[in-house]
Structure 1
Amino acid sequence: MSTIRITGAGLALLSALVLGGCQTLHQTIQPKMPDGATGSPAGSGLTPAAPKPAGFVQAPGPMAFPGPASRQAPGPAPALTAETADEKPQKQSAAERPSPAPLDLWARARAGFRLPIPENASIERELNWFISHPEYIKRVQVRARPYLHFILEETEKRGLPTELALLPVVESAFQPFAYSPGRAAGLWQFIPSTGRHYGLKQNWWYDGRRDVVAATRAALDYLQALADEFDGDWELALAGYNAGAGNVRRAIKKNQRRGRPTDFWSLKLPRETRSYVPRLLAFARLLSESDKLGIHFQPLPNRPYFAGVDIGSQLDLALAAEMAGISIEELYRLNPGFNRWATDPKGPHRLQLPVGKVEPFKQRLAQLDPGDRLRWKRYRIKNGDSLGVIARRHGTTVALLQQVNKIRGTRIRAGKHLLIPISSKRLNHYALSAGQRKARIQNSTRSGSRIDYVVQPGDTLWDIARSHKVSHLKLAKWNGMAPRDILHPGQKLVIWTKSGSVVAARSAAVLPPTDFNTGPRNTRSSLRYRVRRGDSLSRIATRFNVTVADLRKWNTLPSKYLQPGQKITLYVDITRQTL
């Protein structure tokens, strides 16, 4: 195998590579404020404890904050005429002079607060949770720094209450990679269906729910639509963002039938939603009265942190970080929508970079030979290979291989060659890619014995958990998943069991032979597979990312045909299974 550099006319094809929320209620109620995903598509569902430390306060009477200061751009200067040429300029009074823009983003947010904060026990409870957890407030401030200016800008452009810019505090604690048990992702915690409805693309390369720019605009679109539906009632709009508009409508109709009020505080909504709206209002009050309440908000400069750069086509993210002069981790934090080692071949072809790094990056990108945007490998197809096996081994997709190599179907021939895009660095260099984030979760040491399990056709998370006598919620957590995530044959799961025994024939609990070691942790697991109707050696090899030759070597097969019910042994490299 050799690595080659593509230039000239071939680039046009190779650069045009292919491929590729927040609003159903999750029922799990967490015992404390999360430091990440809320545990629901749009809210945490928490009812924080209400300790009464120093600084504990009772909620005052109803409060309302003034609307945002006018931010209209000045109009054009009047033309100089004979009538105005000799006039002396009029001296403005202090009241007439426009207020200077706040130097601090927190002050800017406060200036745009418009939501009334009523006297309410739920708000008081949430407020006292914040007061008693100052370390949480500090972490949120640090995480908010790269994103808050952009979110405030987008909120103000639409004339919306700036309390909405603080919603990621409640949704994700400003963690762009937050992922909840309800399958909600990103700062704004969109679930897949709502994300797609609001134009957030989701595929193997890219997840728009985590894209700070795209998801912020989609979230504000959604909130505006909800506010319109509920006649400008922001409390109901926020409840709809968390629980879904349908749940709110049904609660309103139920109260109407009974002759009861239909404001947020009078509706019977899910417990999570009853905490969600008070939590945002409590944080707004905390910010407004931080000095009085003894909470320090570190000033954040009121200027853009990042700016977008059009990169034109697919680009290796390690190379992009080097050209920008930043770490790969910072690049991912500003561009958390990218799942893999490169940008999506079908776009968006845009990177967010620190403002001071934009111009140097543009200059270096302009000087970069187009053929150096990605590395390419010329791969010789072996007996037993399939496009799926080759794609998984090289961290890419079947669709991309088909596009680059002009393959219409899935049939390939041994001895032929494929061009494969490959990363410029080892995959573990891309520390915040989806694969590396999941690997860190799975490799965390926990109590009990570790079992490496390879998912088989027909498996469900519930069945696997039950057969190993563990909670399906814990099993999902150990693997960085949501309980309703779909499993794929060949996917690798980590199970921590106190018994350490194998309780299912299909479990990949047997430790692999020592000669399969590829590092400090064994990555081979053995399993017994029961042949199903329609199976063939080629199909099984593709499913588990091995070769037909491997299957023949591991098993004494009396004939070249398999029989349903027949059992064969596989040694599966768990690092090469599709997640």
Structure 2
Amino acid sequence: MAFPSDQSPRPRGLSNSATRATAVFGIALVLSGCARLGEGPAASLVPGLGGSDSAEGAAAASGAGEADATAAMPLPNLKARVAEGLGLRPRPSEVVPENLPRGSRPNRAGVRVATAPGPGLSVRNAGIAEDLCARTRSNEGAAGRSPAEEATEPPSQTAEGPEQGAGPDEPTSFWPDFRSALTMDRVDHHQVDAFVRFYRTHEAYLNRAFERGRPFLPYILAELEKRDMPVDLALLPVVESAFRPFAYSSGRAAGIWQFTPGTGRHFGLDQNWWYDGRRDVLAATDAALDYLERLHRRYDSWLLALAAYNAGPGRVNGAIRRNQYHGKPTDFWSLDLPRETHGYVPKLIALSYVVRNTEEYGIELPAIPAQPGFAVVELDAPLDLAQAAEMADSDTETLYRLNPGLNQWGTPPKGPNRLLVPRDRAERFRERLAELDAEDRVRWVRHRIESGESLSEIASQYQTTVGVVKQANTLASDRITAGDHLLIPTATSEDRAYPLSRPQRRAATQQSGPDGRTRIMHEVDRGDSLSEIASQFDVATGKLAEWNDMAPGDTLHAGQQLAVWIPAGSDGRSSKVRYRVRRGDSLWAIAQQFNVPVHRLRTWNDLEEDPIIRPGDRLTIYVNPTQLAEHRG
């Protein structure tokens, strides 16, 4: 299936009525020309007319939007769009360049490039595109990259030469067939032009993104072809996350397709202590394509479907209603959508165009084989990843990158019951797995229950869940008796053997802070929130979340340790903290918390001998982080 060209923005300075008159006149000319030439539907030849993208509104800047339950509404249908010359464009092999209408030109791959009539195309301030380019340069997508992920980034393999492992009749490279199947038009629009400039001048960025996507791109392409969906959508994870499987946005969107929690659950992606389906490339790809198919059925336009994937269907529906009410066009380019969404679709259009024309731009993309870089192995019992890596003659980092949905040290007891392993190691792995008894696939510890212990405390001690402990010991309730013993499934290796598990990724992030600041660790009390703790230490909530590999809306639990990076003192040892007094605080309790004398607190804040402090008051405290860490330890 090919992308529609949709509508191009109208020339600057024309009124709506003048634009419509010009459009009708132009369509009439092309339709008459098509009739004379006896060509196919005008929809495949006429460039579009009109002017406006990953996620839950603007807050989840680049994640799939929350599923929308908006009632049915009158939307442009496909037949009407074809009648107006705005339908689907044929594949490159079906295009006859010499018969293209005026205003269109074939590119190197034989794909028509739509050009809007007239100069001065602008729908929004021209600075938006450049601003979005700058944001892409700094962020490589919507969500930040954790230090743990950076440290284990796979090396890039350039040169699009033959790949090992392909059979005699199999294609050896992913790129040739993929390029020939790309069908997305390059619309003559300032944001598209800006992103084309960005991509063609940032080859290293593209190489990093495609190297991360190397194992998965052939799989995603095959899934799109099964559904007869445009193969250009295989590039969407580059726009969403730069193919970073552990990407986590400020809007709580996760994975290469950037699903928010609610949308992920709506499309069947489980999220629990052991597993996050939003990061599982196989499960999330299936969910993303389901979502995009549903949106395309609703709007009869892939550009509007992409906009709804980014901003949410509710926002797109509202923008369409407003334009219908005012008699304006309802194509993507004409809608008043969030700023982020205005750059989202142009990014994908530009990326598709640049990938199609890498030879023209002198860009050399990483070598990617035509077959997926993994094999799926079915499991009948939980498996420790360190043990799995040994059986696959691989390492746990590789397994985590192929299975980024795994949060802990092993596969989830309640599924999915599969593991992706390197394609060339799969056969040996299956043989060794068959020789290993199910009970030997994790390590079992015999724990004696002490007086006062609870199941949740015991589960936390062994980095597992209450449900797993109950299942392993056939417990019907949470009641346990001191002196009894429990069998606990645990990891076979030390924590450092699982560098990309959720706890290790967070620990690595907490160790890496901004220059000129000193880290202190803060223990969360019952009822605390990120915003409240950020206010106590006079730091931004978004920064506090970033320092702890979290999103601002994430919930906390009592006893959790958070890294807070406070300004370093002039002597390099003391750091200044602005503390916000909470209900129940006393000067003595605050002094104990920060390991400073009470009289110093009074001096630093010009307080009387027996001061009264109230919730919301701000206190200045100078702390020595090293001594504070020892005190709290």
What secondary structure, in the 3-state scheme, does the structure 1 residue paired with 2:287 have?
Answer: helix
Aligned to 2:212: 143
Match of 2:577 among 501, 505, 512: 501
Is 2:182–2:356's contact at 8 Å kept on the other side of the alignment? no
Q: 1-side partners of 2:435 and 2:333: how far apart? A: 60
What secondary structure, in the 3-state scheme, does the structure 2 residue paired with 1:500 have?
Answer: strand
Aligned to 2:263: 194
Correspondences of 1:313-328 after superposition (within 5 Å) = 313-328=381-396
What secondary structure, in the 3-state scheme, does the structure 1 residue paired with 2:577 have?
Answer: coil
Aligned to 2:21: none
Match of 1:362 among 426, 430, 439: 430
> Deviation of residue 486 (structure 1)?
1.2
Is 1:308–1:351's contact at 8 Å kept on the other side of the alignment? yes
Match of 1:375 among 434, 443, 450: 443
Correspondences of 1:511-522 after superposition (within 5 Å) = none
The CA deviation string for residues 466-489 of structure 1, in whole angstroms up to 9 with x for no partner, is: 111101110010000011111222
What secondary structure, in the 3-state scheme, does the structure 2 residue paired with 1:503 have?
Answer: strand
1:308 maps to 2:379:
no
Aligned letter for 1:185? A
Aligned letter for 1:173? A
Q: 1-side partners of 2:426 and 2:593: how far apart? A: 50
Judging changes above 3 Å, is the alpha-carbon distance between structure 1 residues 209 and 572 closer, same or farther for their aligned structure 2 residues? farther
Aligned letter for 1:494? A
Match of 2:334 among 242, 266, 269: 266
Aligned letter for 2:482? A
Q: TM-score, normalised by structure 2?
A: 0.66
Aligned to 1:234: 302
What secondary structure, in the 3-state scheme, does the structure 2 residue paired with 1:481 have?
Answer: coil
Correspondences of 1:155-166 after superposition (within 5 Å) = 155-166=224-235
Q: 2-side partners of 1:465 and 1:403: how far apart? A: 39
Is 1:227–1:237's contact at 8 Å kept on the other side of the alignment? yes
> Deviation of residue 346 (structure 1)?
0.8
Aligned to 1:577: none
The CA deviation string for residues 177-206 of structure 1, in whole angstroms up to 9 with x for no partner, is: 111111111110111111111111111111
Q: 1-side partners of 2:417 and 2:576: how far apart? A: 48
Judging changes above 3 Å, is the alpha-carbon distance between structure 1 residues 163 and 66 closer, same or farther for their aligned structure 2 residues? farther
Q: 2-side partners of 1:429 and 1:40: how far apart? A: 32
Aligned to 2:467: 399
Aligned to 1:40: 62
What secondary structure, in the 3-state scheme, does the structure 1 residue paired with 2:421 have?
Answer: strand
Aligned to 1:439: 507
The CA deviation string for residues 413-472 of structure 1, in whole angstroms up to 9 with x for no partner, is: 221111111100012211111110111001114332222111112211111111111011
Aligned to 2:126: none
What secondary structure, in the 3-state scheme, does the structure 2 residue paired with 1:284 have?
Answer: helix
Aligned letter for 1:364? R
The percentage of aligned residue pairs carrying the same residue is 47
Correspondences of 1:56-95 after superposition (within 5 Å) = none
What secondary structure, in the 3-state scheme, does the structure 2 residue paired with 1:501 have?
Answer: strand
Is 2:64–2:263's contact at 8 Å kept on the other side of the alignment? no
Match of 1:476 among 545, 566, 570: 545
What secondary structure, in the 3-state scheme, does the structure 1 residue paired with 2:420 have?
Answer: strand
1:25 maps to 2:57:
yes
Q: 2-side partners of 1:62 and 1:227: how far apart? A: 27
What secondary structure, in the 3-state scheme, does the structure 2 residue paired with 1:449 have?
Answer: strand
Q: 2-side partners of 1:421 and 1:228: how far apart? A: 47
Aligned letter for 2:263? T
Aligned letter for 1:416? D
Is 1:127–1:283's contact at 8 Å kept on the other side of the alignment? yes
Q: 1-side partners of 2:106 and 2:533: how far apart? A: 52
Judging changes above 3 Å, is the alpha-carbon distance between structure 1 residues 383 and 502 closer, same or farther for their aligned structure 2 residues? farther
> Deviation of residue 115 (structure 1)?
2.3
Aligned to 1:182: 251
The CA deviation string for residues 221-266 of structure 1, in whole angstroms up to 9 with x for no partner, is: 11111111001x1100000110011111110110010011111001
Aligned letter for 1:481? M
Aligned letter for 1:474? K
Is 1:227–1:234's contact at 8 Å kept on the other side of the alignment? yes
Q: 2-side partners of 1:423 and 1:412: how far apart? A: 23
Q: 2-side partners of 1:376 and 1:101: how far apart? A: 45
Judging changes above 3 Å, is the alpha-carbon distance between structure 1 residues 66 and 250 closer, same or farther for their aligned structure 2 residues? farther
Match of 1:120 among 174, 189, 195: 189
Is 1:26–1:181's contact at 8 Å kept on the other side of the alignment? no
Is there any run of 5+ residues in structure 1 with no aligned partner, and where?
1-21, 29-38, 44-59, 68-99, 513-569, 574-579
Aligned to 1:222: 291
Is 2:538–2:578's contact at 8 Å kept on the other side of the alignment? no
Judging changes above 3 Å, is the alpha-carbon distance between structure 1 residues 66 and 409 closer, same or farther for their aligned structure 2 residues? farther
What secondary structure, in the 3-state scheme, does the structure 2 residue paired with 1:146 have?
Answer: coil
Aligned to 1:420: 488
Aligned to 1:76: none
Is 2:174–2:369's contact at 8 Å kept on the other side of the alignment? yes
> Deviation of residue 509 (structure 1)?
6.1
> Deviation of residue 293 (structure 1)?
2.1
The CA deviation string for residues 348-368 of structure 1, in whole angstroms up to 9 with x for no partner, is: 110111121111111101111
Judging changes above 3 Å, is the alpha-carbon distance between structure 1 residues 502 and 268 closer, same or farther for their aligned structure 2 residues? closer
Match of 2:418 among 334, 341, 350: 350
Q: 1-side partners of 2:381 and 2:631: how far apart? A: 39
